[in-house]
Amino acid sequence: MAKSKYLAGKKIIPQPIPKGIKVTDLIDNYFQAYNAARLREAAQLFAQKMLDPDVTIGMSLTGALTPAGLGGSCVVPLIKAGFVDWIVSTGANLYHDTHFAIGHSLHKGSPFVDDRVLRKEGIIRIYDILFDYEVLLSTDSFFRHLIAQPEFQKEMGTAEFHYRIGKYVAAREKALGINHSSVLAAAYRCGVPVYTSSPGDSSIGMNVAAMALDGNGLKLDVSRDVNETAAIVLNAKKKGGRSGVLIFGGGSPKNFMLQTEPQIQEVLGINEKGHDFFVQITDARPDTGGLSGATPSEAVSWGKIDPNKLPDTVVAYLDSTVAMPLMTSYALAKRRPRQLKKLYHQLPELMSALKKEHNKSKYKVK
């Protein structure tokens, strides 16, 4: 009898895991079914296809990832290797990552503690991460001191804001002899633009708001962020390259990254088809609205994903704090570093190209 096409996959082999196995071998050969298999597919898609030189990769970060050390352990190595070209993050991830860069410590703890006692002792808890309340006050003071500097007394997008902040964070790390290298410091050094889709929704935004009460001139231009991110994606496609998104979590950063294609096609009226690669790690469900209407197949209906590229999409339903270290280790082992694209330094040119394409559009407002 002819063998069914549904039996063309590799056989599941229940062989013992050897001692001292490499992460790459573990993922390739022992992540065989369920979300282990989806994680294998995500790691392989990222390393085998998305890291080709012509692919521009955007990463979104949601959830309290940097307090768990994932900024320095995963995001920074990916930035330095040229495996991430632009980032959309919650402000909270950037704020908490700065604690490490300015000399503070966060500690492993238990989620099963009495928070009333912690409050009395001045201890902050993020699930099983514990740190002193003074860490917040010191970090707030650090950001307010920077925001008060003359170079911040103007309107700017969040990419420029984070780039300027990153310069000072990098200098503080150097002065303290800290080798952690925060996300903002690494992005500054590597020219990776970092955006926050909801700049008021974090302690950084709260401090910007507090300084505004005192007459500070900083204003964050969210419209510029929308257009710059669209310009990054359009540039990747117009130059004959491809665009990929690597999404950890969901929420506003995820949608902000994916809406670049509807912004290009629907709003600006520029002929485009959607992102070429889509990898998401999430614990949300589409039937409750938790995936924001953007599983890969749904995203096709919005123009966010090229319909011809659905085979190059993976959603793995698991904890980002489990997936990110495994995928980072896998990618660094499988691929050599890529040449840095340094997109931050190209933003004026990319915005000019976006405007030219929009001016040719039949949808242009007159």
User: What are the tens digits of pLDDT across the range 331-344?
Assistant: 999 999 999 999 99
Marked catalytic residue, from 254, 304, 309, 341: 304
Residue boundaries of the structural domains of the chain: 33-102+153-201+221-357
Distance between CA 189 and CA 263 in Å, rounded? 29
Residue with tokens 């900083």: 218
Helices vs. strands in the chain: H and E counts, helices first:
16, 11
Question: What is this structure's pTM?
Answer: 0.94
User: What are the tens digits of pLDDT across the range 295-351?
Assistant: 888 888 888 888 888 888 999 999 999 999 999 999 999 999 999 999 999 999 999
Band of residue 77 on the pLDDT scale cut at 50, 70, 90: very high
Does residue 49 have an active-site annotation?
no
By the 8 A CB rule, do 95 and 131 touch?
A: no
| DSSP percent split of the chain into helix, strand, coil, nearest 5 | 55, 15, 35
Q: Which of 196, 7, 192 is nearest to 82 (CA)?
A: 192
Burial of 198 (0-12, 13-18, 19+ CB in 10 A): middle
| Structure-token pair, residue 271 | 């002929």
Q: For 192, left (φ over 0), alpha (ψ -120 to 50), or beta?
A: beta
pLDDT of 365 > 80? The answer is no
Mean pLDDT of the chain: 94
Pairing mode, strands 129-132 and 107-108: antiparallel
CATH topology of domain 33-102+153-201+221-357: Deoxyhypusine Synthase (3.40.910)
159 alpha carbon, distance to own chain's centre: 13
pLDDT of 366 > 60? The answer is no
**Coil, helix or strand at residue 306:** coil
Q: Which of 72, 146, 144 is nearest to 105 (CA)?
A: 72
Q: Which of 46, 23, 54, 5 is nearest to 247 (CA)?
A: 46
pLDDT of 150 > 90? The answer is yes
